[in-house]
Structure 1
């Protein structure tokens, strides 16, 4: 039974083709394409208003040099939100529960910010490895520690997103399994468990949205150090 709980995190295959590719391309199909008219319908208007507000919030602490990342951050935010929330639907698969995918998203973006900092602000980028006023004896130790903390950032981003989504999915499945097990014997207890399950589902929807926002927000903070 314990093994079956983790089967939901395995990518299903059809005719030998992993369906994770379908899950990764589905978000781009769901959203309406922009039109030449100023106002197409309420859905597009709400979509544009949300993207504008999010982009403005992300770009506030960034220098003008980082504003060129606005489209990338907005697209990544919408993409992660859609993948996370679609995974809460029955008979679906959540690609963002795979650590390899999350690290694959985080590493190139993090590396791009580091390369940009080393190219444009070499002294300041290297200065982050050694805080000002550090005693001479602690300089080698702090450089090693700061270097490790810098290199571990993409791993931390991927683990954070994977762990939060995986824990939520497992908790929902455990509670739902307990509810169906007690359905025939303890109806009143089952009603309480179903209420808890509903609250957990609402919480997971919030977690799916918040974790996508946190992923992009931390990436913007990494960019802020290098622009």
Structure 2
């Protein structure tokens, strides 16, 4: 049976049942939970410190009304971060390479920020569709352009995350396949290619972390416009 490079992005199945739900819930089980002790262990302390720093960075541009979203945004970032990093391990599946899942995360949250703005400050939210000082003949065209740019935001969120992770996984597989092919023919070139693969893996780890942060940061910026 011949396999293509894109078969790694297919959801694994057991007896015809997709295992993507297992891929989503397993990373959450690996996160250490807090105990009732006064002094926690080093791992929990480090986890709380990192989450506190990330939450502060996300909440800086928001006002007090936007701080209600702190738990949602921080939990989403922790979920994306663990899924992206665990997806780099061998024989694993990365759910965030599926556009359907990323859109399922991006669209409801974007819609929630938009509805929040329409409920709390409708005039200001609708005012973003027309920049101040626009000439009268350009008003219909600018409203149409701003409306399209507003509606395309969730698609941009999902496609950005999917494209970055998919491209990284494909590059890693292509280079690793080249190493296996060159090893019996040109050992020196294969060793050099292995060094490139190691650097690419480090870069992909950084991309997995940055994309999780960027996804949540853009949601917080959308929320800033509507609070």
TM-score range, shorter chain: over 0.9
Matched residue count: 227
User: Alignment partner of 2:65: what SS?
Assistant: helix
Give the Cα–Cα distance (whole angstroms) in 2 for the partners of residues 126 and 17 of structure 1. 44
Kindly report the root-mean-square deviation, in angstroms, between the aligned alpha carbons of the 2 structures.
1.2
User: Alignment partner of 1:64: what SS?
Assistant: coil
Match of residue 140 from structure 1: 140
| Structure 2 unmatched ranges of 5 or more | none
Against the structure 1 CA distance between its residues 16 and 2, is the aligned structure 2 distance closer, same or farther, given a 3 Å change threshold? closer
Match of residue 80 from structure 2: 80
Cα displacement (A) at 1:2:
9.8
Q: Deviations over 1:67-105 (max 9, x none)?
A: 010011110000000000111000000000000000000
- Scaled by the length of structure 2, what TM-score is found? 0.98
Give the Cα–Cα distance (whole angstroms) in 1 for the partners of residues 154 and 38 of structure 2. 39
- Scaled by the length of structure 1, what TM-score is found? 0.98
Give the Cα–Cα distance (whole angstroms) in 2 for the partners of residues 37 and 59 of structure 1. 29
User: Alignment partner of 1:29: what SS?
Assistant: helix
| Structure 1 unmatched ranges of 5 or more | none
Give the Cα–Cα distance (whole angstroms) in 1 for the partners of residues 218 and 39 of structure 2. 33
Is 2:182 the counterpart of 1:168?
A: no
Q: Deviations over 1:105-162 (max 9, x none)?
A: 0000000000000000011000000000000000000000000000000000000000
Cα displacement (A) at 1:33:
1.4
* Off by >6 Å, runs of 4+ in structure 1: none
Give the Cα–Cα distance (whole angstroms) in 2 for the partners of residues 37 and 109 of structure 1. 35
Against the structure 1 CA distance between its residues 12 and 115, is the aligned structure 2 distance closer, same or farther, given a 3 Å change threshold? same
Give the Cα–Cα distance (whole angstroms) in 2 for the partners of residues 134 and 39 of structure 1. 59
